[in-house]
Amino acid sequence: MVKKIYFKVFASSTLCLLLLLLSYSNYSIVNLSYGAYIKAPLAPSGPTLKDDKLSVEKVTDGLDIPTSMAFLGPNDLLVTEKETGKVIHIINGQIQDEPALDVAVANSIERGLLGIAMAKQADGKTYVFISYTESGNDEDSSDVEDNVEPEGNRLYRYEYVDGQLINPVLIIDLTAAPENDRGEHNGGKIRIGPDNNVYYIVGEVGGHRTQAQNIEDGPEPNGLGGVLRITQDGQIVPGDAIFGDESPLDLYYAMGIRNSFGMDFDSVTGNLWDTENGPDTGDEINLVYPGFNSGWSLIQGLSQNDLLENDVTPDDLVYFGQGSYAEPKLSWVTPIGITALKFLDSDKLGTQYQNNMFVGDINNGLLYRFVLNEARDDISFDSGYTGNTALLADKEVNDPKENQPFIFGQGFGGITDIEVGPDGFLYVLSYTGSLFRIAPSTEASTTATTASSTSPDDSATITENNQATEQSESEDDQNVAQDGNSIPAVILGLYADKSYSPNPITIERGQTITWYNGDTISHSVTSGLDNDDNAGEAFDSKAIIPNQSYGLRFDDTGDYPYYCFYHPSMVGVVIVE
């Protein structure tokens, strides 16, 4: 029998143990497979930053799975909610009683209300562009509850008038019917380009395999798996065709994209960049030019490494018109669930951050910062970082610990969007329902909802809200955490049976084990082994984010094998005597 879990910031004594155990980092990574759709929780003490001159302030919470945001003006923004189909209006941190819009959405897996962008017009009108998976019967979640086929993945233009979105115009209509019966890879982010055209990124929607996914003998492209470009009036952009002048080739700006939750235009050059999600490997950051072919479904990550084991080269891809392949600017062998991407076109956080690229992830709740080279056509690791960047010269994160130099903040929960507000500060939207603002410490609010900022070596300061959360834990959990009966263990990373240390771990009946995540990505402690029918039934920590811990008391003797649900090659065993 095992008892209720608890999460807690680990004691400093165990941090010392972690340093002793890091010698296991020499073990190689083998036979990895990954769980999908990991969503990091908020850190118990709130988000923290490496720069102690900056602070994180909670703007609001209580949102229901928010996906994207757009600012109407200072302290005035719209936020989309994935499951409800509502566009929430937030003014001065307060959620307004009436949403600006409520549409019926299909919301299985990655379907839902996904993207939003705003464009003010010369005549005073404000256009708001919305992307969502439209319900097939005008009811939310009918695809889940009643197996109703969605109407489609659609891009609409609305007008914003007196707090409401009105006068919808359908400008792109794509299928939402998956080939693999899963409502995944719908993308959905929208940007207004420097050319005032609308850019909409969509995934391959549940396993479609057309020529746009580089299948030479596949069906013709159907508008999926790429960046689509259209005028704000819903017309094909005039000028030379990029991929071709026939529909839907005339919509594509880029293709060969599996799925994406982030893109933005460089505030200096106007170049488009995106993030792309790999399957069990090969998350990417790309410079997206007109005619860019990202390589999916034959290539993911750096082509020479053949992470998908397809034994192909860029010569094997399908090219239309001006299409060409380019390598990612950075690739992850182990996926992080890369999401939002935003350029900070402001010096309000300090000139050292101006025009840097900020990126989030869903798996670990981490916020990353990247510096571009002088030509602004690549990511540079020559300066602007602390830590060892030499291992990044190959443009590939081979081990999650290589992330360390460009981690800017942590503990945000799964990040779904990043934007720059009219005030010049950085706003981070969390899947958990919270919206945060990053600002200089002297600018940040001192209210109880402000999350503390720390330097890398400082402990996080717990806010009043988080103190209240911790006080709500049961007295039993508090006693277990403090009675000295807990045996420390450390999650080291992706090192097979050396991933958890010590392993095996032997305890007496009634004792507790507390696993501290010393890696830079999320892991789990899940009973059983991968593909066991009863895996996770005895215990399952869910995501343990970096620098957090999970405790579990064992009251019955026996052997308890366990593994990381997200990285099943990570295995361990608890022996209770």
The domain spans of the chain are 6-37+471-576, 48-451
pTM of the model: 0.87
Q: What are phi and psi of 92, to 5 degrees?
A: 50, 40
384-423 as b/e, with b when 16 or more CB fall inside 10 Å?
Answer: bbeeebebbeebbbebbbbbbbbbbbbbbbbbbbbbbbee
Contact between residue 54 and residue 349 where contact means Cβ atoms under 8 Å apart: yes
Q: What is the mean pLDDT of residues 310-339?
A: 97
How many other CB atoms are there within 10 angstroms of residue 217's CB atom? 6
pLDDT tens figures, 439-490 = 999 865 443 333 333 333 333 332 333 333 333 333 333 333 444 579 999 9
- The token duo for 22 is 């890091």
Calculate the average pLDDT of the chain. 88
Fold of 48-451: Neuraminidase (2.120.10)
Confidence bin at 31 (pLDDT 50/70/90): very low
Interatomic CA distance for residues 330 and 282, integer angstroms:
9
32 vs 393: which has the higher pLDDT: 393
- Assign 180 to helix, strand or coil: coil
How many helices and strands in the chain, by DSSP H and E? 4, 40
H-run or E-run covering 153: strand 152-161
Q: Does residue 213 surpass a pLDDT of 70?
A: yes
What pLDDT shows up at residue 115? 98
Q: What is the mean pLDDT of residues 297-321?
A: 98
- The token duo for 359 is 């990126």
| CATH class label, 6-37+471-576 | mainly beta
Q: What is the mean pLDDT of residues 214-224?
A: 98
Interatomic CA distance for residues 150 and 82, integer angstroms:
15
Contact between residue 429 and residue 416 where contact means Cβ atoms under 8 Å apart: yes
The pairing of beta strand 526-527 with beta strand 450-451: unpaired
- The token duo for 246 is 């026939």
Q: What is the mean pLDDT of residues 100-122?
A: 98
Q: Kindly report the CA angle at 476 between 462 and 520, in degrees rounded to 5?
A: 45
